[in-house]
A and B are shown apart, each in its own frame.
Chain A
Amino acid sequence: MVITIDNDRLSELPDSLLTHILSFLPTKLSVRSSILARRWRFLWTQVPTLDFDKEDEDFIPSFISLHKLPTINTFRLTAKENYNFRYFNDAWIKAVIDRKVKNIDLSAFKAILLPALLFTCKTLVDFRLDFYFVVPGTGCNVCLPCLKILHINSVIYKDVDETLVHLLSGCPVLEELVIGLVTHHNLVPCNISSATLKRLTVHFTFFSHVTLFYKHHYKVEINTPALEYLRLVDCLSEHIKCGALASLTEADVYLHNTYKKQDDSRYSQSVLEFVDRLSNVKYLKLDLSYCTEVYTCAFRSFVSSFFSFFSNYN
């Protein structure tokens, strides 16, 4: 048999580099590489990434036990709509955590309570949650001492008022937070407080049917003195409150006053105070075009200070 080989340089790569390349593939494909040749037969067991993208879920727990590495860099699980998450409990997630996992990226399609053990993972650096996972409430201990990046999109918070604050209080070195609150399931007061946070993205927005559930007085409260980058898309809050942002260099803010606020003037005043906090940024994108009450309020406040100046002057 004639074997045509276009490039034999890659065959010189040590196993560690081949497993590095395989680590960028979904696990299914890295396992498939075992068919290539004898040298590749067990390479997949040395790949420090477990990436299950809508695979048959019964296979996943057994796969973890076949995998040989004492450490895992990344554990990624994208569920199918018919997953029932029978195995998704503390005992099973312990197998991942015991391997000193650094990055966890999970998305479900149904409301599944996250195992509490995830929130005390000492090695976790990057934690991403998407679509309807339920974040345990204040009864769950949160201690994520190495966590630098947290993305939480469309999850459900067990204790509506407290969970977010509780979660952030257990992340002492957090630098990047992306939080999306986009359906009626997961609207919570958006109270973000962190002394170390540098990058913050908040999508406090809605699908149209949310109007049916729009009963509460949501507010955005940001207390992040070390922040350098802020992106805020807010369509729902009645009030924006923000602490000092002395280090902020870039801000991208879009406020959309879709709903009649309970108190327009109070809301507009809070927006003006918030905009004042942005006075030091180098790059600012500010869209208030759907928030016209703010202009009226700003104009009124200008007029009243103008007249009070003259009345004092007289």
Chain B
Amino acid sequence: MAAETGTPTTLTLKSNDDELFSVAESAAILSVTIRNMVEDGCAGGVIPLDNVDGKTLASVITYMNGISAIPADEEKKKSYRDKFLSDKDFETLADMVLAANYLNMSCLMDAVSAKIAQVMEKKSVGWVRRKFGIENDYTPEEEAAVKEEHKWTFEGVETDDDN
């Protein structure tokens, strides 16, 4: 262990498309999934992460390194998260929320979920359906009934476009 040898322990993570990544154990254990593997002594060789592709994993590791370098200051961590997510498109955010869920990283999960919500807030129903892969299985009558039931939530809603 790092504490015993005095040198930082490095873990090797493997994405589901067989890319290998080295990451400091101290940063990687932000993921409870990885931390459990380390604690159970299963992290000796390569850690396979079957649900995360290389592109997403590279991004997650950038986040792990960045956030673990910031001392215990919640405001600085928050501004790092905001900056980290600011240039990510919706598809990347979608991949990251799935990865954060699989890796059990609550801080990343919350930040990405908040960002997705922030994007959704300004979008039309049609846009959200497309981006979330939601098939509208209501009959027109049912849809009208749901809309009527929660009429107050549709006040001032924009037209169903991509913007």
Residues of chain A at the chain B interface (Cβ within 8 Å): 3-13, 17, 20-26, 28-29, 31-41, 55-56, 59
Contacts and interface: CB of A to CB of B under 8 A. Distances in A.
B132 A36 contact: yes
Interface of B: 90-91, 94-95, 97-98, 101, 109, 113-114, 116-118, 120-121, 125, 128-138, 142-143, 146-147, 149-150, 152-154, 157
A36 B128 contact: yes
Nearest to A176: B74
29 contacts: A3-B136, A5-B133, A6-B133, A7-B90, A7-B132, A8-B133, A9-B94, A9-B98, A9-B133, A23-B113, A24-B113, A24-B118, A29-B121, A32-B125, A32-B150, A32-B153, A32-B157, A34-B146, A34-B150, A35-B138, A35-B146, A35-B147, A36-B136, A37-B134, A37-B136, A37-B138, A38-B137, A55-B152, A59-B152
B147 to A, nearest CB: 6
Contact of A11 (B133, B146, B154): B133
A7 B91 CA distance: 7
A3 B147 CA distance: 21
A22 B97 CA distance: 13
B130 A6 contact: yes
Contacts of B117: 21-25
B159 to A, nearest CB: 14
A39 B136 CA distance: 9
Contacts of A31: 150, 153
B150 A10 contact: no
Given A9-B94, A9-B98, A4 B130 contact: yes
A13 B97 contact: yes
Top 10 closest pairs, chain A to chain B, by CB? A24-B117, A8-B133, A11-B133, A32-B153, A24-B114, A10-B132, A21-B113, A5-B133, A25-B117, A31-B153
Given A9-B98, A28-B153, A36 B134 contact: yes
Given A32-B154, A37-B136, A21 B143 contact: no
B13 to A, nearest CB: 20
Contacts of B94: 7, 9-10
- Give the interface centre of A5, A12, A31, A36 by most chain B CB atoms within 10 Å: A36
A39 B95 CA distance: 21
A11 B94 CA distance: 10
Contacts of A3: 135-136
Contact of B120 (A4, A23, A29, A55): A29
- Give the interface centre of B117, B118, B143 by most chain A CB atoms within 10 Å: B117
Nearest to A38: B137
Given A21-B113, A35-B143, A9 B95 contact: yes
A31 B152 CA distance: 10
Contacts of A5: 130, 133, 135
Contacts of A28: 152-153
A40 B130 contact: no
Contacts of B138: 35, 37-38
Given A6-B91, A24-B114, A25-B117, A17 B101 contact: yes
Nearest to A11: B133
Contacts of A9: 94-95, 98, 133
B96 to A, nearest CB: 11
Contacts of A22: 117
B109 A20 contact: yes
A11 B120 contact: no
B90 to A, nearest CB: 8
Given A12-B98, A35-B125, A7 B131 contact: yes
Given A10-B131, A12-B98, A24-B113, 20 more contacts: A7-B132, A9-B133, A10-B94, A10-B98, A13-B97, A13-B101, A17-B97, A20-B113, A21-B117, A25-B117, A29-B120, A29-B153, A33-B128, A35-B138, A35-B143, A35-B147, A35-B150, A36-B125, A36-B134, A56-B152
